[in-house]
């Protein structure tokens, strides 16, 4: 399929990055990137600041030339195609709204260049979609950051490109508007079947919106898959900690059966299903998500279905309404995090209490990277809250308002 | 610059009324300066322009009167010079813009990565100021004279008729004006282009605009403040210039501009009222032209 820029895309185009490398003078932003995004999918590129997300989008948009590698859109090699001839539009991180044009002229710019009929009506329609039609005659400088961001969105979407690149397009919006725009974007994408490449450093946003999430770190993709797959079975320490939080342990594999491996964590045997572990011998890093872990006031009876660690001491309790986060210090192992739903009234254990923690064997996972390096990833604000808030939850929440 | 000013102008709250006395006080030096160095000569000029020749007086003796006929007389006598002044100035402004824009674009945008090259090129743009404007124009007169290497070569190559001249023609005068005012065009253009945010150009090309369309719809409008400032700084002094068009420099009898006529009336014919009336006409015409131009280019906030 070849994609023309003269008409609206009937459907999305697939994107293929083959062996892409990008070097800036004195700095390699992307070491080696291979990526295939199927047509019509909502693909999220998730990664911390500075990992090369914007650079990747700029390469796809044609604003930057790869040092090595090829870019294919809809099967056509566009590596040497100029930006204005690529069937791609970008929502820029900095909005880049033309300051000398009205909002309406900004939104109609791409349509005019392509000589599309009734550009103005379409621009108005796109502005209505982002609820800014009443500001059509204003200049960008007269709008708030969030409004400008929505105009940037309208300016790109109005062109119905085969491939839409979104560079942190919702960063400046407040929570409620962000959720609303997330839904809006998702429904536009589904309705028209366009391909969206959405860049974000907000894991919750990536997980709620995308069909496929690729976690990017230091210019390379660490892991790629459906959001629940990534969350339930992270492959690397980075993914385990960037996408939600994880309790990680390192130890030697001391026993192997057909279905499970046993890891010796400072004298405590911890069992992980073989299918969920990437490495089956030697030193390994294993982990479990904090919400999968149960807290016990008294030592529970040991069982083959559950891993048990303890006793430890509760060193911090933070109550957040829906759930409570406990930090439990276990001698020799370190500090573990436990999320517990507030099923009863308030926290079940106080600071200083002696507790045991346990989880079902099938909830554990084994990572593929060498243990010993950074077993703990410094948590930042984006990764603190646990994600996995599905879209339905969002819909329900919005309907309440 | 203009856009930023435009954006903040609205956001700023109205200054409280009682501050106006302080503002007036702070403006005092400026007002005094204007009265002393602008209004006084202007009033004197207006009065002179309305003078009438003294009855039974000598040449160059005039009395205060209300002789508005002076204006009619000078327009009748000198309308070709008036038109020529604005024609030459316009041509020189257009040429200077055509030359300076690529130059300023190169220094301000393309050379951003090499600050040393940027500074060096700016120094080269300003370098001519280190030598007197008169000397440089005289040098051009030499370079373009009939005996000069350039002209003799052109004639040898039959690119110029054997009996043709370059000095003394309108081309020479326009060339001189262009040459002399290029730095005044380049510097304001450079200042706006140097701050041009290239992300807008990228957004343009992302939205299907080819390089030329990006230039026309994004780069030029965003550099409008520099274009307006540069063209004003070139056009206004060029319209009143009397050096380039003078017979002693690059001009000839048929290239006399208003400046030359004013000079002749003041210094040779001693017809002070005519010279003053011409000066006032020149000033008023420039004011009107500039006003219309600025209004049309949408950069009122620049003034
Ligand atoms: N033009 C450039 N020259 C040199 N380094 C650059 C350039 N653009 C980006 N980088 C570097 O490449 C890395 C990735 O940048 P970017 O893609 O913007 O990250 P992000 O994931 O935050 O969008 C950063 O370390 C940045 O400093
Ligand atoms: Mg970025």
Q: Facing residues of A15 across strands?
A: A37, A73
Output the pLDDT for position B59: 79
Give me the residue spans of the domains in chain A. Answer: 15-231, 236-397
Q: B285-290: which pairs have CB atoms within 8 A and are 24 or more residues apart? A: B285/B82, B285/B86, B285/B239, B286/B235, B286/B236, B286/B239, B286/B240, B289/B86, B289/B235, B290/B232, B290/B235, B290/B236
Query: Which atom of ligand 1 is closest in space to residue A53's alpha carbon?
Result: 21
How far is residue A130 from each of residues A61, A105, A147, A148, measured CA to CA in Å? 23, 16, 9, 10
A200 lines ligand 1 (CB under 6 A): no
> Are A109 and B199 within 8 A, CB to CB?
no
pLDDT at A129: 87
pLDDT value at B4 more than 70:
no
Whether A90 and B224 lie within 8 Å, measured CB to CB = no
pTM of the model: 0.82
Residue B148 lies in a domain: yes
Residue B241 lies inside a defined structural domain of this protein: yes
Check A100 against B222: CB less than 8 A apart: yes
Q: Is the pLDDT of residue A390 over 80?
A: no
What atom of ligand 1 comes closest to residue A168's alpha carbon? Answer: 23
- What is the arithmetic mean of pLDDT over B163-182? 92
Strands A212-217 and A42-46: parallel
Predicted confidence at residue B93, as pLDDT, reads 97
Q: Which residue of B has its CA nearest to A98?
A: B200
Tell me: pLDDT of B23 over 90.
no
Strand, helix or coil for residue B173: helix
What are the start-end ranges of the E strands in A342-382? Answer: 354-360, 365-366
Torsional sign, CA B82, B88, B94, B97: negative
What is the rounded distance in angstroms from the CA atom of residue A105 to the CA atom of residue A155?
9
- Is the CB of residue B196 less than 8 Å from the CB of residue B222? yes
In this prediction, residues B75-104 reach a mean pLDDT of: 96
Mean pLDDT of A327-356: 87
- Across all residues in chain A, what is the average pLDDT? 87
pLDDT at residue number A3: 52
For a ligand 1 pocket test, name from A28, A55, A165 the mutation site with the most ligand atoms within 8 angstroms of its C-beta. A55
Contact flag A92-B200 (C-beta cutoff 8 Å): no
- pLDDT at site B16: 52
Q: Give me the percent of chain A exceeding a pLDDT of 70.
A: 90
A65 lines ligand 1 (CB under 6 A): no
Per-residue pLDDT for A383 more than 50?
no
Please list every residue in chain A whose beta carbon sits closer than 8 Å to the beta carbon of residue B205.
62-63, 82-84
Task: Please compute the mean of the pLDDT values over residues B76-91 and round it to a whole number.
Answer: 95
Residue B96 pLDDT more than 60? yes
Going by pLDDT thresholds of 50, 70 and 90, the confidence category of residue A386 is very low
pLDDT recorded at residue B275: 94
Chains A, B: CB contacts within 8 A come to 70
pLDDT confidence tier of residue A178, bands split at 50, 70 and 90:
confident
In a domain, B220, yes or no: yes
- Ligand 1 atom at shortest distance from the alpha carbon of A29: 12
**Which residues form the domain of B182?**
77-264
Instruction: Tell me if residue B72 falls in helix, strand or coil.
Output: helix
Which ligand lies nearest the alpha carbon of A45?
A: 1
Distance CA B285, CA B274 (A): 16
Q: Which residues contact B64 (CB under 8 A, 6 or more apart)?
A: B47, B50, B51
Within an 8 Å CB–CB cutoff, is residue A115 touching chain B? no
Greater confidence (B19 vs B240) lies with B240
CATH of domain A15-231: 3.40.50.300
For residue A263, what pLDDT band results from cuts at 50, 70 and 90? very high
Q: How far is the CA of A142 from the centre of ligand 1 (A)?
A: 30
Could you tell me whether strands A68-73 and A27-37 are parallel, antiparallel, or unpaired per DSSP bridges? unpaired
CB within 8 Å: A84 and B209: yes
SS3 state of residue A66: coil
Q: Decide if B65 contacts B55 (C-beta within 8 A).
A: no
Q: Rounded distance, CA B258 to CA B82, Å?
A: 6
pLDDT band at A5 (very low <50, low <70, confident <90, very high): low
Q: How near does any CA of chain A get to the CA of B106, in Å?
A: 20
A249 at B interface, C-beta within 8 A: no
Regarding beta strands A163-167 and A88-91, do their DSSP bridges make them parallel or antiparallel, or are they unpaired?
Answer: parallel
Q: What is the Cβ-side half-sphere exposure of residue A55, based on CA atoms within 13 angstroms?
A: 25
Task: Kindly report, residue by residue over A283-295, the tens digit of the pLDDT.
Answer: 999 999 999 999 9
How are strands ordered across the β-sheet holding A15-24? A27-37, A15-24, A68-73, A76-77
Q: Which of B293, B298, B283, B273 is nearest to B48 (CA)?
A: B273
**E strand map for B57-211:** 62-63
Which residues crowd ion ligand 2, with CB under 5 Å? A 54
Q: How confident is the model at residue A69 (pLDDT cuts 50, 70, 90)?
A: very high
Sheet harboring A42-46: ordered strands across?
A: A88-91, A163-167, A195-200, A42-46, A212-217, A220-225
Total domains in the fold of chain B: 1
- The DSSP string of B256-298 is --HHHHHHIIIIIS--HHHHHHHHHHHHHHHHHHHHHHHHHHT
Count of C-beta atoms within a 10 Å radius of residue A366:
22
Nearest CA to ligand 1 atom 7: A24
Query: What pLDDT, on the 0 to 100 scale, is given for residue B182?
Result: 95
Could you give the ipTM of this predicted complex? Answer: 0.81
Alpha helices for A77-232 (secondary structure H): 103-113, 119-129, 145-157, 175-192, 203-209, 227-232
Give contacts of B199 with chain A, Cβ < 8 Å.
92, 94, 96
| A238-254 pLDDT, tens digit each | 999 998 899 999 999 99
The confidence band for A10, taking pLDDT boundaries of 50, 70 and 90, is low
Q: Nearest bound ligand to CA A28?
A: 1
| A120 Cα to the center of ligand 2, angstroms | 31
Residue B50 included in any domain: no
Mean pLDDT value of segment B81-107: 96
CA A79 to chain centre: 27
Q: Give the C-alpha separation, A310 to A308, whole Å.
A: 7
**CATH number for the domain harbouring residue B165:** 1.10.3720.10
How far is the CA of A98 from the CAs of A81, A138, A311, A352, B207, in angstroms? 24, 12, 62, 59, 12
Q: Please give the CATH superfamily to which domain A236-397 belongs.
A: Nucleic acid-binding proteins (2.40.50.140)
């Amino acid at each position: 399929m070849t994609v023309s820029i003269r008409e609206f895309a009937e459907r999305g185009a697939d994107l293929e990055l083959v062996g892409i490398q990008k070097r800036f003078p004195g700095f390699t932003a992307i070491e080696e990137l291979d990526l295939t995004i199927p047509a019509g999918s909502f693909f999220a590129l998730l990664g911390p600041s500075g990992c090369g997300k914007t650079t990747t989008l700029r390469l796809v948009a044609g604003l930057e030339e790869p040092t090595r590698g090829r870019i294919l859109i809809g099967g056509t090699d566009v590596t040497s195609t100029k930006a204005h001839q690529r069937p791609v539009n970008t929502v820029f991180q900095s909005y880049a709204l033309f300051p000398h044009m009205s909002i309406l002229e900004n939104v109609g710019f791409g349509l005019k260049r392509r000589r599309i009929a009734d550009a103005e009506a379409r621009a108005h329609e796109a502005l209505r979609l982002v609820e800014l039609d009443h500001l059509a005659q204003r200049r960008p400088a007269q709008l708030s950051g969030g409004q400008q961001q929505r105009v940037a969105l309208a300016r790109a979407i109005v062109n119905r490109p085969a491939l839409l690149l979104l560079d942190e397009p919702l960063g400046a919006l407040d929570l409620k508007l962000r959720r609303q725009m997330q839904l809006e974007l998702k429904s536009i994408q589904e309705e028209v079947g366009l391909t969206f490449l959405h860049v974000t450093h907000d894991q919750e946003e990536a997980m709620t919106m995308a069909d496929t999430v690729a976690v990017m770190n230091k210019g390379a993709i660490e892991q790629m898959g459906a959001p629940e797959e990534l969350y339930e079975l992270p492959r690397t320490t980075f993914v385990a900690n960037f996408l939600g939080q994880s309790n990680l342990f390192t130890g030697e594999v001391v026993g192997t059966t057909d279905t499970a491996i046993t890891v010796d964590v400072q004298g405590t045997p911890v069992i992980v299903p073989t299918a969920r572990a990437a490495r089956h011998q030697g030193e390994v890093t294993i982990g479990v998500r904090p919400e999968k872990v149960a807290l016990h006031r008294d030592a529970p009876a040991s069982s083959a279905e559950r891993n048990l660690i303890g006793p430890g001491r509760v060193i911090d309790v933070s109550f957040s309404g829906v759930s409570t986060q406990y930090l439990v210090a276990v001698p020799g192992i370190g500090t573990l995090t436990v999320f517990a739903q507030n099923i009863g009234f308030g926290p079940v254990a106080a600071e200083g209490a002696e507790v045991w923690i346990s989880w079902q064997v099938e909830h554990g996972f084994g990572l593929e990277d060498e243990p010993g390096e950074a077993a703990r990833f410094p948590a930042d604000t984006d990764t603190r809250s646990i994600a996995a808030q599905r879209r339905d939850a969002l819909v329900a929440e919005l309907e309440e308002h | 610059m203009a856009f930023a000013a435009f954006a903040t102008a609205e956001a700023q709250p109205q200054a409280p009324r009682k501050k106006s006395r302080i503002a007036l006080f702070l403006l005092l030096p400026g007002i005094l300066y204007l009265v002393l160095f602008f209004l006084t000569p202007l009033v004197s000029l207006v009065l002179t322009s309305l003078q009438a020749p003294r009855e039974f007086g000598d040449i160059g003796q005039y009395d205060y009167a209300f002789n508005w006929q002076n204006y009619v007389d000078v327009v009748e006598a000198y309308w070709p010079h008036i038109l020529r002044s604005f024609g030459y100035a316009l041509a020189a402004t257009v040429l200077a813009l055509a030359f300076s824009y690529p130059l300023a674009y190169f220094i301000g945008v393309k050379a951003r990565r090499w600050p040393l090259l940027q500074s060096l090129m700016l120094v080269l743009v300003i370098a001519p100021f280190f030598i007197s404007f008169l000397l440089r124009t005289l040098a051009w007169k030499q370079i373009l004279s009939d005996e000069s290497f350039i002209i003799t070569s052109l004639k040898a190559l039959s690119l110029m008729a054997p009996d043709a001249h370059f000095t003394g023609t309108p081309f020479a005068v326009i060339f001189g004006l262009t040459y002399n005012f290029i730095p005044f065009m380049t510097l304001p253009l450079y200042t706006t282009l140097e701050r041009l945010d290239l992300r807008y150009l990228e957004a343009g090309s992302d939205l299907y605009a080819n390089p030329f369309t990006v230039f026309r719809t994004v780069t030029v409008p965003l550099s409008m403040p520099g274009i307006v400032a540069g063209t004003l700084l070139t056009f206004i002094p060029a319209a009143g210039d009397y050096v380039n068009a003078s017979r002693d420099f690059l001009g000839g009898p048929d290239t006399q501009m208003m400046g030359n006529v004013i000079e002749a009336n003041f210094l040779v014919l001693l017809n002070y009222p005519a010279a003053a009336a011409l000066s006032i006409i020149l000033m008023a015409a420039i004011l009107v032209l500039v006003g219309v131009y600025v209004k049309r280019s949408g950069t009122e906030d620049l003034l």
